[in-house]
Structure 1
Amino acid sequence: MSLDTAHWGRRLAELAALHHVPGAALGILKDGEVAEAAYGVTNLRTDVPVTTDTLFQLGSISKVWTATLVMQLVDEGKLTLDAPLIEVLPELKLADPEVTKRLTMRHLLTHTSGIDGDIFTDTGRGDDCLEKYAALLAEARQNHPLEATWSYCNSGYSLAGRVIEKLTGDTWDAAVRSRLVGPLGLTRTVTLAEEAIMHRAAVGHLYEDGKNTVAPVWGIPRSAGPAGAITATVADLLTFAKLHLDGGETLSDAGRSQMAEFQVELPDKHTLGDSWGLGFERMEWDGERVIGHDGNTIGQAAFWRVLPSSSLSVALLTNGGNGAKLYEELYREIFADLAGVTMPERLGPPSPPVDVDITPYLGVYERASIRQEVHEVDGKPVMTVQITGPLAEVLQEQDSHYRMVGVAPGLFVCQDPETGNWIPATFYELPTGERYVHFGARATPRA
């Protein structure tokens, strides 16, 4: 069955307009055939149209690229996933000396290191930015004990990028170009802003007070590159997807399989998936295993899913508005139509309502860049989220107040005040008694 490009282009336009998305690009890969569609503008100030050749920031989808580079090094015998990283980085020093001795690449790829994950310190534009970043992790808080739980960790992927540099002798950016971009024949994939401006590139928009405004900055610091700096077209992302669907000379079949296999269970199974691989999110839709990754930068959001059993991969790149709602509605249609798979509904308030006592969960939860307070306003539970540190200086956002609705003991959904989207909050304890809230894919300890 041939892909109906015109139909999916119409649906992209209709749903993107409904959800206030300024610009978007959609790519579908099914049984080797590719369909692409574009909608809207790259920048509300310039009204330059989005085309299928427009570059968007992939955000954290970049982590799968970084993990692929790591697995290439494993293929080459230069790295072992479970060997202490100090064998490669003898200069490594973390806040906890025991973690320094025991930390492995598997911990980094599976977000189980416990290193505070949202440290966005800008260490400059030089080729030594990751070396400097790795050094400052000596001051990073240990968010949870090694392997004790799962918490999304951008910092760990920047550290993984530094390992790649040590083993290849190149910068992470150069390794992406020489080991993936070149061999895969990608012509519109870059890692640096000065490369992106040579193409038609999307600008992020922040959705506030019911309208989109151009984001205050274009991209994230170079030191966060391995965690989220790849910028590409949907066509190039789908070419990268072929590597993980069909294999190829760029990565061994064993390495490709390991990346998609179960590594760790998630405390919150309602936000990203039920488990994690080596770089990949893992989720179950209608009894089928789906892998992929999402990405969010400053005003841009990207969504990528792969359904190996149906040889299907879908990529959606957006530059503002309610990209999450666009993704949910569009992907639900695509996967039902092309694979007969029903995408699960997002967790929301239960009907009828459930009475869940908020008292055991009241208090302040804090980690780098984020302070979360669970409290009551007029007798109703509220989570107030404050961005702190270097990220606050970039975004300059006001505190967000999420109303909370109980689903079950230890499980609430919190409504985003801007988009209306519901975000799960899972409260739990480690076996050793430390209390956490899992919100936005991060485990934040109670202060």
Structure 2
Amino acid sequence: MSKSKAGRAGRLPVVLALILVACIALFLAVAAYLKPPSRSGGEASPGIKLLEPPADASPARVDYRRLDARITALMQDPDMVGLAVGTVERGRVRFVKGYGETVAGSGVPITPDTVFRWASLSKSVAAALVAGLADEGKLSLDAPVASLHTTLTLPGDTRNVTVADVLSHRLGLVRNAWDDRLEAGEDPKTLRSELGTLAPFCPPATCYAYQNVAFDTASEIVEGATARDYASVARARLFGPLGMTNASIGRAGLQGAGRWAQPHHRGRVPARVDDNYYHVPAAGGVNSSINDLLRWMRAQMGDAPAVLSPKLLDIMHRPRVSTPPHGRRGPMDRALTNAAYGLGWRSYTYAGHSLVGHRGSVDGYGSLILFDPAERSGIVMLWNSNQFKAARLQLEFFDLLYGLPQTDWLELQKPEEVAHPSQPVPGTD
């Protein structure tokens, strides 16, 4: 064999080895590219994460042993069935826990991944979608609703009624206009097309009156701007990017979850899932676990600027109209002062602090989110019964957070609570 042939023969194994290394590297690169995004540790969809706060070795301000003891005592109420609670302090999740059962007597425990209905907390999703589309120039919050070809009609002169008026309940309608007809099974688009036949409550765009049927005009606005159905837009623009893996819209999303909480009436009586408010998805159609609701709250605190920018958060949270009380007010409602409404969000002052939040109820479920944007701290709650005393826990949390004197907001030391109606007004808060 010549020297040149011998040299080529000697180099052959080296070349083969280099080719093999290159193939392995290519395989690993392709595998990494195709790997689905992680659903743990704060990961959302590819390229988007919830921002994590800086390392903080300081102890929690809230005494969570006391908070847990108070929740455990609350669960002894004869009307409570299941409850999930989560808290954030200074941007960091400090507490998340499930209590009770998915169905009374079943023994199946509530976990942080159990799915409940959001009820009226869903309005914040609609506001985020509409405000986001407006920020992209696909619509305007100041556009007259009449120019958008929705089914909504209103009494009086509606030329100046805007998209922002829809999202802040300033439509000149009586409070909860035709919720009763929605609950009777009537089509919400037909109802919206006939709202103009009602007597005006006030000149449009001048006063606040809470709505569900009219508020769901937001779903038509979203679908008109995107040419896609409302649920798929919410998944693509919010739930997916934020890593809200158990979030959905509609009854199928609730009952198709791996573990979901069944609704109950007073006395822990199981009830069927009523889907009337699923027919107004912008007003009351969202479901999720407490883990997902924690992600939603953190995004509202500014921890997901790629999804909800500081500009959008200001647009949604900024008070736009005062919300005078109606009906009987309990101690908690009297303590939350300067009540106002933004776009899909309420705002209050408590003990000198500005808070943002919302409450919701639909037959057999309750929901709550309340947070201090400046402190980046707050609480979320989901439960599966018509016991609305649970909502008072929010102020016990903030008393602990702010170091205020302890107040028995839950009235656990009293033998009996003032009687409440056995049924809520579904879909309202």
Matched-pair contact (CA < 8 Å) for 1:335–1:342:
no
CA distance, structure 2, for counterparts of residue 124 and residue 140 of structure 1: 18
| Superposition pairs of residues 212-251 of structure 1, within 5 angstroms | 212-246=268-302, 247-251=304-308
CA distance, structure 2, for counterparts of residue 173 and residue 130 of structure 1: 17
Greater alpha carbon shift after TM alignment, 51-60 vs 273-282: 273-282
State the superposition RMSD in angstroms: 3.2
Matched-pair contact (CA < 8 Å) for 1:19–1:321:
no
Of 268, 276, 281, the residue aligned with 2:325 is: 268
SS in 2 for 1:83: coil
1:140 shift after superposition: 5.3
| Superposition pairs of residues 376-395 of structure 1, within 5 angstroms | none
CA distance, structure 2, for counterparts of residue 130 and residue 224 of structure 1: 7
SS in 1 for 2:157: helix
CA distance, structure 1, for counterparts of residue 404 and residue 125 of structure 2: 27
1:267 shift after superposition: 2.1
| Counterparts in 2 of 1:174 and 1:143: CA distance versus 1, 3 Å | farther
Instruction: Give the equivalent residue in structure 2 for 1:339.
Output: 402
Deviations 1:112-162 (A, max 9, x none): 10235343456999xxx7755644545555443313421111123211111
CA distance, structure 2, for counterparts of residue 88 and residue 244 of structure 1: 28
SS in 1 for 2:276: coil
CA distance, structure 1, for counterparts of residue 280 and residue 84 of structure 2: 24
1:87 shift after superposition: 2.1
The reply on whether 1:49 has 2:106 as its aligned counterpart is: no
Instruction: Give the equivalent residue in structure 1 for 2:144.
Output: 84
CA distance, structure 2, for counterparts of residue 198 and residue 187 of structure 1: 13
Supply the AA of the counterpart residue of 2:313.
R
Supply the AA of the counterpart residue of 1:29.
V
Structure with the greater alpha carbon radius of gyration: 2
Of 197, 215, 221, the residue aligned with 2:255 is: 197
Instruction: Give the equivalent residue in structure 1 for 2:313.
Output: 256
Instruction: Give the equivalent residue in structure 2 for 1:20.
Output: 79
TM-score, with structure 1 as normaliser:
0.70
Matched-pair contact (CA < 8 Å) for 2:152–2:217:
no
Instruction: Give the equivalent residue in structure 1 for 2:118.
Output: 58
CA distance, structure 1, for counterparts of residue 265 and residue 183 of structure 2: 25
Instruction: Give the equivalent residue in structure 1 for 2:225.
Output: 167
| Counterparts in 2 of 1:41 and 1:113: CA distance versus 1, 3 Å | same
Of 298, 301, 322, the residue aligned with 2:387 is: 322
Of 350, 356, 363, the residue aligned with 1:291 is: 356
CA distance, structure 2, for counterparts of residue 96 and residue 156 of structure 1: 12
Matched-pair contact (CA < 8 Å) for 1:310–1:339:
no
CA distance, structure 1, for counterparts of residue 301 and residue 173 of structure 2: 32
Matched-pair contact (CA < 8 Å) for 2:119–2:284:
yes
Relative contact order, higher structure (CA 8 A, sep 6+): 2
1:238 shift after superposition: 1.2
Supply the AA of the counterpart residue of 2:155.
D
Deviations 1:187-225 (A, max 9, x none): 111112222223211111121xxx232224344343221
Instruction: Give the equivalent residue in structure 2 for 1:277.
Output: 342
CA distance, structure 1, for counterparts of residue 130 and residue 407 of structure 2: 32
Matched-pair contact (CA < 8 Å) for 1:124–1:221:
no
| Counterparts in 2 of 1:183 and 1:25: CA distance versus 1, 3 Å | same
SS in 2 for 1:278: coil
CA distance, structure 2, for counterparts of residue 345 and residue 108 of structure 1: 37
Matched-pair contact (CA < 8 Å) for 2:362–2:428:
no
Runs of 5+ unmatched residues, structure 2: 1-57, 410-417
TM-score, with structure 2 as normaliser:
0.72
The reply on whether 1:308 has 2:373 as its aligned counterpart is: yes
| Counterparts in 2 of 1:124 and 1:66: CA distance versus 1, 3 Å | farther
1:33 shift after superposition: 2.3
Matched-pair contact (CA < 8 Å) for 2:160–2:205:
no
Supply the AA of the counterpart residue of 2:387.
N
CA distance, structure 2, for counterparts of residue 141 and residue 191 of structure 1: 33
CA distance, structure 1, for counterparts of residue 197 and residue 107 of structure 2: 44
CA distance, structure 2, for counterparts of residue 187 and residue 115 of structure 1: 37
Runs of 5+ unmatched residues, structure 1: 347-414, 422-439, 443-447
Aligned positions, number: 347
CA distance, structure 2, for counterparts of residue 93 and residue 313 of structure 1: 35
Give the structure with the higher percent helix. Answer: 2
Give the structure with the higher percent strand. Answer: 1
